[in-house]
Amino acid sequence: MKRSLFVAVSLILGAIWLFGGGTISTTKPYYEEPFTEECNKDTIYIEKDAGLMWQDATYGDKEDGAYKQEYNSRRSGDWAYAARYCQDLAYAGYYDWRLPTSDELMNLSRKDRVLQDNRGADFWTSTKAQNSLYYVVYTVDAHRYKRDPKQSNYIRCVRCLDEEQ
């Protein structure tokens, strides 16, 4: 009885060893060094002639959805959200960001492909129009248009360059 139990256990363990690969590795498993390069750097565009530094962050699905479906998310939203977003922005080591004026954004939009990531769409400005409306700049034609502040548009923040920059 003990002998048949020993044989059965030996056969089971042998089958597991045989069909399970059969080798015991003494080498360490393959390990790849972690990727150390930063993937999400804060990109900027410096407009020296105007003395401005522009946020040049990428726009993705969240911003596109917010823009199209009229809600606030990341770099897209209504005017009050846009103003708060820029005021609270900590980006590229700076904390003094703001919404651009319509003149500043129109001037930037007239330049040929200076930003890495742009949308051919309306971007909020800090410039107030009449009747409680605010101006947006449509980056395709670099013109400003009046919009209801409750409407959702893209956001791009700007800051003044320091004298040493």
| 34 occurs within a structural domain | no
Adjacency order of strands within the sheet including 122-128: 76-77, 153-154, 122-128, 134-138, 143-147
| 9 occurs within a structural domain | no
Contacts with 115 (C-beta within 8 Å, 6 or more apart), sequence order = 45, 54, 56, 108
Each residue's pLDDT, cut to its tens digit, for the chain (165 residues) gives 667 666 666 667 666 655 655 554 444 444 444 444 455 578 999 999 999 999 998 877 777 776 777 777 778 899 999 999 999 999 999 999 999 999 999 999 999 878 887 788 999 999 999 999 999 999 999 999 999 999 999 999 999 998 666
pTM for the full predicted model: 0.71
Domain around 105: 44-160
Q: Which tokens belong to 3? A: 């002998």
| 128 occurs within a structural domain | yes
State the CATH number of the domain containing residue 53.
3.10.100
| 65 occurs within a structural domain | yes
What is the number of domains present in the chain?
Answer: 1
- Tens digits of per-residue pLDDT, 36-56? 445 557 899 999 999 999 999
Q: How many CA atoms lie within 13 A of 158 on its CB side?
A: 22
Q: Which tokens belong to 2? A: 């003990």
Q: Which tokens belong to 117? A: 């990531």
